[in-house]
Structure 1
């Protein structure tokens, strides 16, 4: 994938339960956005979850919007770039980058709620690397 900063890829397992779907990333279960087609995917299928930094933001509302997963992150690395900052944290043990407003976070070690827009997440078959 082209672009900078790059997309984060996290290995997981697809969980299907009737009309609901989720991706298990070790100890974290992220719900797949309602109504998303999964192109013949199966329960237990190994997948890669692709997250772009611009689809991860500091939580603003008291409750997450539909299709959004809220995660309490501890910032490991902070890269200020003027009006924006790129913050790296760990999700299920893997580094993930979020694009935040410059004032959203002030230092590494800070904890803050991050909303992950699962409506914009990419899901790939882990074996073929084709989009699901």
Structure 2
């Protein structure tokens, strides 16, 4: 149905307003998305703008399937070009965001989309977080691995290559480039992401 509506929109070349609770429909059909939460506007923007630069946790978890992974942490240091975070499981994380308005000791949430998680060995061996593999979904062009990670309430989902050798019952060490991470403050508001070309320090986010 959404494809037919999108084709109709292009053919009529007129403004259309379509209300949906399905983020896939919104991403497929819209030139501009208005994300509402209880009647309040959370963010307005093009689909990929909302995907790559969500303003807060509500938008971040609404846009994207599988949903963005969320890991609780604490700020160790906060600078204009990066934040140094300790996750609940003890791992330390560098995130390419402008955290100059925050202070060490504040509670934060790290957000990482499944496709930005890679096996640590494929990330140059720069460290990572180890999780127990609970379920593996082999979808052909990709493999979804659902992990139990210490200190994380929900499963962490990693979107890996289709030929990944991961198996349920085993363990998987994952890492991510810090420029692909998101960071949210205790109120759920996003820190502004810093372009990779402007960052300094370690490339590995998890280590």
TM-score range (shorter-chain normalised) is 0.7 to 0.9
1:49 alignment partner, one of 90, 104, 110: 110
Does the 8 Å CA contact 2:123/2:175 hold for their aligned counterparts?
no
| Alignment RMSD (CA, Å) | 2.4
CA deviation map 1:43-76 (0-9, x unaligned): 0111111110011012325532xxxx52233211
Displacement of 1:125 in angstroms is: 0.7
User: What is the distance in 2 between the residues matched to 1:56 and 1:92?
Assistant: 17
Larger mean CA deviation between 93-102 and 17-26 belongs to 17-26
More helix by share: 2
Aligned residue for 1:63? Answer: 125
CA deviation map 1:22-46 (0-9, x unaligned): 222223232214x642141110111
Aligned residue for 1:12? Answer: 73
More strand by share: 1
Does the 8 Å CA contact 2:130/2:149 hold for their aligned counterparts?
no
Displacement of 1:17 in angstroms is: 7.6
User: What is the distance in 2 between the residues matched to 1:107 and 1:61?
Assistant: 19
Considering Cα pairs closer than 8 Å and 6+ residues apart, tell me whether 1 or 2 has the greater RCO. 1
Q: Within 5 Å, give how 1:14-33 maps onto structure 2.
A: 14-16=75-77, 21-33=83-95
Aligned pair count reads 126
Secondary structure of 1:119's aligned partner: helix
Could you state the TM-score of these two structures normalised by the residue count of structure 1? 0.80
Q: Within 5 Å, give how 1:1-132 maps onto structure 2.
A: 1=60, 2-16=63-77, 21-33=83-95, 36-58=97-119, 59-60=121-122, 62-64=124-126, 69-94=127-152, 95-127=155-187, 129-132=188-191
Larger radius of gyration: 2
Larger mean CA deviation between 10-19 and 46-55 belongs to 10-19
Structure 2 unaligned segments of length 5 or more: list them: 1-59, 192-207
Does the 8 Å CA contact 1:85/1:101 hold for their aligned counterparts?
yes
Displacement of 1:78 in angstroms is: 1.0
Secondary structure of 1:131's aligned partner: coil
Could you state the TM-score of these two structures normalised by the residue count of structure 2? 0.54
CA deviation map 1:94-120 (0-9, x unaligned): 221101112223421122322222221
